[in-house]
Amino acid sequence: MIEASLKDLAAALRAGTLSSVELTTLFLDRIDALNPSLNAFITVDRDGALAAARAADARIAAGTAGALTGIPLAHKDVFCTEGLRTTCASKMLADFVSPYDAHVVSQLKAAGAVMLGKTNMDEYAMGSSNENSHFGPAKNPWDATRVPGGSSGGSAVAVAARLVPMATGTDTGGSVRQPAALTGVTGIKPTYGVVSRYGMIAYASSLDQGGAFGRSAEDCALLLSAMAGFDPRDSTSVEREAEDYSRALGQPLAGLRIGLPKEFFAEGMDDDVRAAIDAALEQYRQLGATTVEVSLPNAKLAIPAYYVIAPAEASSNLSRFDGVRYGHRAAEYGDLADMYGKSRAQGFGAEVKRRILVGTYVLSHGYYDAYYLQAQKLRRLIAEDFAAAFTQCDVIAGPTSPTVAWPIGEKSDDPVQMYLQDIYTIAVNLAGLPGLSLPCGTGAGDLPVGLQLIGNYFDEARLLNVAHGFQQATDWHRRTPALG
């Protein structure tokens, strides 16, 4: 049952061979057994989940169920949930209970999905390893001494360890795709503006985008279809008709043109990752796709540009956490400025503070043109590189991460080394394009390697089908970590 696809789970629920209460209990019991060692969840809501499961069973009995009705789900703890605490993995919000649901949360509630709880993450989604969590690091289920990637590490671990069939995440610089790669699951970040940011605690608003984790592209397509859609409460939500992201699944890949950015294959990628990526590309050729070299000459500027834009926007977004309206307030303080300073010093972790300081500096008087404006100009150059590449190919492929999962603690004291882990994912956010990671092989230590597929704007359905075609021909996505 824990290996069943969402489609098969929905069919079993509708056929009455399985109830949502049974399915929900099964996964809740797995969480009870395995979460103490994996730390994938910050909050588990057994009572709420069982109540939602009973409601789903009634809906199934009434014949009004949808594709996800009765199926368990986990939300990254960056999405606000009314009545259940939303921490963003920060001491600042350790006791915060949102007065409203995020758009994504209400969409999935309406679909009848059963939320089991909220998953671990890097604090405020700032990190690539899930080590920057006030609640401790999530562990990679393939090797619990290693990181699962981040920032949506808990969601990736929950799906990889089969603690839940599907989970939401957010991706500002790779935070869905990179943990998906490091834990051996499929994850998609759609085009910027496809998933509403309403109720998603903001990090870098011009880059933040909700995304989906599943065991397969087929499952991700179902989840994304329920998450996406225009929402007037998000000022950058794109006004488009709702889409069925499963619609292209099963189309043959013969004739597909896959672009391989020469910059992604030049250097910096570990040999074991390269071998797995090369084998995956060979698999695509066997499926009838052709590969063509493309160039993204400005991709190397993505990391520096990102570490201006994201901290600048973060310094503004996180100014709301002042100990007045919500969140942590220091126990002792003098005047108002002292209260702000102490509350924020105590409430934020080290990496969050660093990014706020970087952002404050680059936006301070006299530096705007040299930093933020320059970074936004580089952003355009990077987007233009992708536009040129897409004149020669239908999708772009390459590694998601330059390495397999690394040992916990190895990079946590060196921010720049950590930042460089996102070398292949960040440019996609800057351009606002959709990106997906799917498990495509293993590297050193039998650890998962992810293949990244990048699509043109609003080409999610094709991207999912390109991943689905690979998963029909291979079984990397079916590998499961051995757990107690």
Partner 1 sequence: MSLSIDEVRHIARLARIELGEGEAQDTLDKLNNIFGLIEQMQAVDTSQVEPMSHPQDVAQRLRDDIVTESDRRDAYQRVAPQVEAGLYLVPKVIE
Omega within 30 of 0 (cis) for the link into 151: yes
Of 439, 451, 443, 450, whose CA–CA distance to 479 is shortest? Answer: 439
Copy the structure tokens of residue 281: 């590309």
Q: Which is nearer to partner 1, 191 or 216 (CB)?
A: 191
The yes or no reply on residue 412 touching partner 1 (CB under 8 A) is no
Of 237, 186, 209, whose CA–CA distance to 125 is shortest? Answer: 209
The type of residue at 132 is: N
Q: Say how far apart CA 226 and CA 111 lie, in whole Å.
A: 7
Closest approach of partner 1 to the CB of residue 369, in Å: 10
Q: What is the DSSP string of 54-111?
A: HHHHHHHHTT---TTTT-EEEEETTB-BTTBB--TT-GGGTT-B-SS--HHHHHHHHT
Contact 424, 452 (CB under 8 A): yes
The yes or no reply on residue 377 touching partner 1 (CB under 8 A) is yes
Closest approach of partner 1 to the CB of residue 81, in Å: 13
Contact 177, 400 (CB under 8 A): yes
Q: Which of 431, 438, 447, 463 binds partner 1 (CB under 8 A)?
A: 431
Closest approach of partner 1 to the CB of residue 248, in Å: 22
Q: What are the φ/ψ torsions at residue 456 (nearest 5 degrees)?
A: -75, 170
The yes or no reply on residue 366 touching partner 1 (CB under 8 A) is no
Q: Which is nearer to partner 1, 226 or 431 (CB)?
A: 431
Active site residues: 76, 151, 175
**Site of tokens 């808990």:** 154
Q: Which is nearer to partner 1, 14 or 354 (CB)?
A: 354
Q: Which is nearer to partner 1, 145 or 319 (CB)?
A: 319
Q: Which of 162, 177, 379, 477 binds partner 1 (CB under 8 A)?
A: 379
Within positions 15 to 54, which residues make up the interface with partner 1, using CB under 8 A?
Answer: none
Contact 460, 245 (CB under 8 A): yes
Contact 8, 218 (CB under 8 A): no
Q: Say how far apart CA 374 and CA 50 lie, in whole Å.
A: 51
Q: Which is nearer to partner 1, 439 or 455 (CB)?
A: 455
DSSP tag of 262: H
Considering only the stretches 36-44, 132-140, 282-290, 331-339, report the one whose residues sit in contact with partner 1 under the rule CB under 8 A. 331-339
Within positions 277 to 316, which residues make up the interface with partner 1, using CB under 8 A?
Answer: 298, 300-301, 303-305, 307-308, 315
DSSP tag of 19: -
Closest approach of partner 1 to the CB of residue 58, in Å: 28
Contact 361, 353 (CB under 8 A): no
Q: Which of 78, 200, 204, 358 binds partner 1 (CB under 8 A)?
A: 358
Within positions 86 to 145, which residues make up the interface with partner 1, using CB under 8 A?
Answer: 96-99
The yes or no reply on residue 370 touching partner 1 (CB under 8 A) is yes
The yes or no reply on residue 329 touching partner 1 (CB under 8 A) is yes
The yes or no reply on residue 340 touching partner 1 (CB under 8 A) is yes
Closest approach of partner 1 to the CB of residue 171, in Å: 14
| DSSP E strands, 132-247 | 166-170, 186-189, 210-214
The yes or no reply on residue 387 touching partner 1 (CB under 8 A) is no
Q: Which of 54, 341, 402, 410 binds partner 1 (CB under 8 A)?
A: 341
Within positions 449 to 468, which residues make up the interface with partner 1, using CB under 8 A?
Answer: 457
Within positions 219 to 238, which residues make up the interface with partner 1, using CB under 8 A?
Answer: 232, 235-236, 238
